[in-house]
Amino acid sequence: MATPDGSAAGDRTAAILTLTAALILAALLQLVVFEQYGEQRLATLGVEVALFLVLIWAYTGGYAKATASYADWSLRRHIRRHPEMVTALEGLIAQVEDTLGPRRDGFRNASQSVLNDWWRVWSATLNTDKPPAFSEGDRQRYDAAQRATGFWQTHLGDWPAVRSTANHLLGTTARLDGLSYATAAYLIRSYIASSIVYIQDFTLNAQQMNVGKIGQINLNSWAIYAKKVNALISAAQQIDNLGPSKVGFGLDLKFEPVVENLAVVMVPTNTVSAVASATAGPPASEQNKTA
């Protein structure tokens, strides 16, 4: 059965070429060169047997397997000529440690600052004659954003194992084996991707809990942290861009940037359409009837 990479067709072609060469060589050896000598006939038979063994080997997929093994070996050796890629990934690990790791926990500090200020504004109108600063829907979004920060604490527990495994690979086998380097990159990619999911969960809820009321100055702590995260994402993208030329394959270090300004509210698409319709006024046909 043919495969997408054409290995079956390659095996068949190799088998046909080997069979043709074996038959021609056998005829020449038997009829021209070794016609009068018995020992040479045995040698000819040995050559024929060897060629037909090669034929069987090629026909059963040995040629394709050998080609694939060579390509894999060549790809794995690619990293040996580019030690700067190992250094770049080690630098990215240090950046993750500083931005998404538990040592400083920048996400919790920045997000808690937003939540604390939101609660301060909310509580200022409680038990007073003033109208509430936020709606009940805003309060529900606040609860959801706070839950996201709680889930983050569980996520941080994965980092020490990811960091130690990746650093071990980069200090040993990843310098000589491209597959080992790809494994280290995959571990880091998975942790960054999971971190961004939690961050986006928080920002999506924070944008919809009307944080603009707490003042832009109080949101600066989040903006500073989000810029650090986006700098990390940019560094990961640069390593990924070098992957095909330096390592031989992409590393899938592609991530969406996180929101830096929480005061910009995400407006649903249907709301935008409704506003546009209201602004445009009634259709032209209705206006003509009125006139």
Distances (CA, A) of 246 to 22, 82, 122: 43, 6, 53
Highest mean pLDDT: which of 30-39, 92-101, 115-124? Answer: 92-101
Residue 284 has pLDDT above 80, yes or no: no
Domain ranges of the chain: 7-60, 82-275
Is the CB of residue 27 less than 8 Å from the CB of residue 44? no
Q: For 83-92, 129-138, 176-185, which range has the lowest pLDDT when averaged over its residues?
A: 129-138
For the chain, the first-to-last Cα distance in angstroms comes to 74
pLDDT reading at 282 higher than 60: no
Residue 93 has pLDDT above 80, yes or no: yes
Highest mean pLDDT: which of 21-25, 69-73, 130-134? 130-134
Segment of 25-39, 54-68, 176-190, 253-267 carrying the highest mean pLDDT: 176-190
Least confident window among 44-48, 136-140, 258-262: 44-48
Q: 43 — phi, psi (to 5°)?
A: -65, -40
Q: How many residues make up the chain in this entry?
A: 291
In the prediction, which pLDDT does 48 show? 66
The runs of H, that is alpha helices, within the chain are 7-28, 38-59, 62-77, 83-99, 106-123, 136-156, 159-171, 178-207, 220-242, 269-280, 284-290
pLDDT digits (tens, 9 = 90+) for 59-75: 667 767 776 665 566 66
Look at 33-42, 153-162, 275-284 and tell me which has the smallest mean pLDDT.
275-284
Q: Which residues of 79-108 are buried (b: 16+ CB within 10 A; e: fewer)?
A: beebeebbebbbebbebbeebbbbeeebbb
**Pairwise pLDDT comparison (286 vs 279), residue with the higher score:** 286
142: exposed, middle or buried (Cβ count in 10 Å: 0-12, 13-18, 19+): buried
pLDDT of residue 1: 40
Average pLDDT over residues 233-254: 91
pLDDT at 50: 74
pLDDT of residue 246: 85
Q: Which amino acid is at 242?
A: L
Least confident of 44-58, 108-122, 157-171: 44-58
